[in-house]
Amino acid sequence: MCLAIPGKVVKIDGDTAVVDYESETRKASVSLVDDLKVGDFVIVNAGFVMDKVPEEQALKSLEAWKNAGKND
């Protein structure tokens, strides 16, 4: 049940990052990860940025999710 769609950090304000998911944006605390930058891809869960995701891996995951949606 745990899968996680990556999002892209579009803004960081203090402890809070704004993460873009194309269809929506979400705010998440950055207190668990170091050296986060705008443009990084991240996994967010329960209001926290859980980890950074390498860009290539994130784009691959997003593509897979889009394709899965087309097959619904």
Residue 10 or 21: the one with the smaller Cβ distance to other proteins is 21
66 belongs to the binding site for other proteins (CB under 8 A)? no
What is the β-pairing status of strands 25-29 and 41-45?
unpaired
Q: Closer to other proteins at the Cβ: 24 or 39?
A: 24
Tokens, residue 62: 């997003």
Q: How far is the CB of 38 from other proteins (least distance, A)?
A: 19
Question: Which of the 8 DSSP states describes residue 71?
Answer: T
Scan residues 4-43 and list those touching other proteins (CB under 8 A).
Answer: 4-5, 14-15, 21, 29, 31-32, 43
State the distance between the two ends of the chain, measured CA to CA, in whole angstroms.
18
